[in-house]
């Protein structure tokens, strides 16, 4: 099935069915927003460095 056909199929669903999909998408977005990977971004350049290494660097 092409992407266009899939989109048409989704658009043809009933409003109630679409709302259920919206709720799933919303829940997934909320989980992603709360997940650790996004929080790691706050650590900037040290995002993937072990915590012990960062602490050692900070001491220097």
Partner 1 sequence: MKRTLELINQMQADGVIGQYAIGGAVGATFYLEPAATLDIDIFTTLPADQGNSLVSLSPIYEYLQARGCAVKQEHILIGGWPVQFLPPSNNLEREAVAEAIDTTVEGVSTRVMSAEHLMAIALHTGRPKDYIRILQFLEQEGVDRTKLDRVLERHDLTSRWKAFERKYLEGSDE
- Pick out residues in 1-60 that bind partner 1 (CB under 8 A): 7-8, 10-11, 13, 15-16, 18-19, 21-23, 25-26, 28-30
Q: How far is the CB of 26 from partner 1 (least distance, A)?
A: 6
Which pair of structure tokens corresponds to residue 35? 């997940």
Residue positions counted in the chain: 60
Q: What is the dihedral of CA 44, 49, 53, 57, to 10 degrees?
A: -30
**Residues at the contact surface with partner 1, assessed by CB under 8 A:** 7-8, 10-11, 13, 15-16, 18-19, 21-23, 25-26, 28-30
């Amino acid at each position: 099935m092409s992407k266009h056909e899939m989109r048409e199929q989704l658009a043809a669903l009933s409003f109630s069915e679409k709302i259920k999909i919206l709720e799933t998408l919303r829940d997934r977005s909320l989980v992603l927003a709360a997940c650790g990977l996004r929080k790691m971004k706050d650590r900037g350049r040290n995002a993937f460095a072990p915590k012990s290494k960062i602490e050692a660097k900070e001491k220097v």
